[in-house]
Structure 1
Amino acid sequence: MALFSRKKTPAPARPRNPFVETPEQEAARREREAAEAAAAEASRVVYEPRKGGRPTVENPRTKRVSLSLSDQEHETLVAAAEGQRVSVWAREVLLDRLDTSEVSHIPGEVARLRADLGRVGSNLNQLVRAVNSGQTVSSAELLEAVEATREELARVRGELP
């Protein structure tokens, strides 16, 4: 009697290992992870890095001009600068004098008169704007501004060459 038969029987099916994916499951997982990564990348806000160091100047001033002044001359320039740095004030004055525009050949007094006229005109403009916006402005105040503008204009016209 033979206890062991020589005939082979098929092995029983192995139970599925929950920790091992099938190729279909692995492909689906990879597609899902790729879609999630693309969505995360699209929603990420990217900021431009800040530039480090000192800011760059468009027209840097690299040339120097120096003056030798007496104490009295320096005090005169400091007083004329009226609180500005003397170098800034001197550069503005020199460049204004060298300017080839129409205003540069007008004498200094007329330029000051034009500035005064501009201030009076500005005051008049503010009054008219207030009236147009519905605010009440006294007629005397408005008449005073118009008269001041008229007088200043006559003075400027009289002094122009």
Structure 2
Amino acid sequence: MSDPRIQKLVDECHRQEENCRYTAVSFTLWLRWLKRFRLFCEVAPIVFGALATWKIVSQTSPTWAAVFTLLATVIPPVYKASKADRAIDDYTTATGEFTNLRDRFRQVATISSHEDFSQFEAKVKPLLDRLEKVRARALTPPEWLFKLSQRKVQSGDYTHDYDLAKQAADQG
């Protein structure tokens, strides 16, 4: 690698691979939460409605029957107002794109970096354009999810078995 620009572009590819990894994991964790929220909002009104009309509850505690009725009627519009279905679709698409970009940046850094600079740069540019496009949506899961994703990635939860075996072989 005599051209110093190649090493700089390899470094940038690895940085973007890391950014995409953390973002994809963060989005995956947020998607899990959103899907649980959707499930709760779909099932809870049915359960609360059943409890509200259950003869034992309505006869022994009209207050609880009223609370269950309120919950059964309030949850569906709250869910609709949250626009969670759209968020699930947006995060599903973005998670897939960040995961794909993570792999493409890694591949281009390890394989295409052996070509001359102009060929290497030509393969990196479309990836940077895709990254810019997916980032334009400005999806922002809560900060605590990013911290959780950092811990999960750094603990090795998203490390390939191949990489672990290769690392062990290199050390031993």
TM-score by length of 1: 0.30
Name which one, 1 or 2, has greater alpha-carbon Rg. 1
Q: Kindly indicate whether structure 1 or structure 2 has the higher relative contact order, using CA contacts under 8 Å at least 6 residues apart.
A: 2
Between Structure 1 and Structure 2, the one with more helix by share is 2
